[in-house]
Amino acid sequence: MVSRIKEYIGRFLTLTPEEWNTLAETFEVRTCDKKVKLLEIGEVENYIHFVVKGLARKYFYKEGEEIITQLAKEGELISSSVSFLSSQASGYVVETIEPTTFISISKAQIESFYKLDQRWEKLGRLIITELFLEKERWELERICFSTRERFVRFVSGNYDLFQRVPQKYLASYLNIKPETFSRLKHLLQKKTSSNIA
């Protein structure tokens, strides 16, 4: 179970066996059913969750409608990150889509690591930088590509999510109207079946 998170952290910093043991002691493992809310709007986020198995999403409400801003699958982090970093009330809900197992680390633990050694600050800086860059890339994606291009790019890069995530969630995440999403999906299926024929 921990090999995935080890691999994730290894992208940023190679931990010594001692460092790894210290970190692993703080892991809180929990498994949730599908559609379980880990955090509600207005609460303060105290955790960063790493998805070991399953699928979760993050969203907020715009005039009663859910707007999904993140989908997190195995090997990815999910948290109401601004609330986590700023200790302010969350503007987002974090909720599972499938039954999901997380490895979670609390804010208090992370803060105590920062005081322990600069290597942990470095790890924190590198992870936050990566999350920042992901946001920037996503914003550029929305600006630079048409609805149709965004759909095609997403499906070709994330075919697993395309199959696992309910269509209305995907439409919201990609900021595509549900009707348009259905039409694009139809088009794709026609194309695929004609390729096979």
Partner 1 sequence: MRGPENEQKYLEFIFQYIHTRIGSLSREQFDLFRPYFKFRRFEKKEIILDQGEIEDNLNVVVEGLVRKFVVTGKNDVTLQLATEGHIIQSEISFHTRSPSPVKLETIEPTVLVSLTYESVQTLLANIPIAESLGRALITQMFIKKDSRYFNQIGKSTREKFLDYVNNHPHMLQRVPQKILASYLNIKPETFSRLKHLIRNQK
Which residues lie near partner 1 (CB under 8 A)?
60, 62, 67, 69, 81-82, 85-86, 91, 114, 118, 121-122, 124-125, 128-129, 131-133, 135-137, 139-140, 143-144, 175
CB of 74 to partner 1, least distance (A): 23
Nearer to partner 1, 2 or 85 (CB): 85
CB of 85 to partner 1, least distance (A): 5
Nearer to partner 1, 2 or 126 (CB): 126
Whether the Cβ atoms of residue 110 and residue 12 lie closer than 8 Å to each other? no
CA distance 169 to 34: 14
CB of 60 to partner 1, least distance (A): 6
CA distance 112 to 9: 18
CB of 118 to partner 1, least distance (A): 5
Query: Which helix (H) or strand (E) is 125 found in, with range?
Result: helix 118-144
The single-letter code of the amino acid at 166 is P
Nearer to partner 1, 86 or 189 (CB): 86
Nearer to partner 1, 29 or 108 (CB): 108
Q: Phi first, then psi: what are they for 88, rounded to 5°?
A: -95, 165
Q: How many CA atoms lie within 13 A of 131 on its CB side?
A: 18
| Angle between helices 118-144 and 147-157 in degrees, nearest 10 | 130
Contacting residues for 72 by C-beta, under 8 A, at least 6 apart:
49, 51, 55, 56, 57, 58, 78
CB of 92 to partner 1, least distance (A): 9
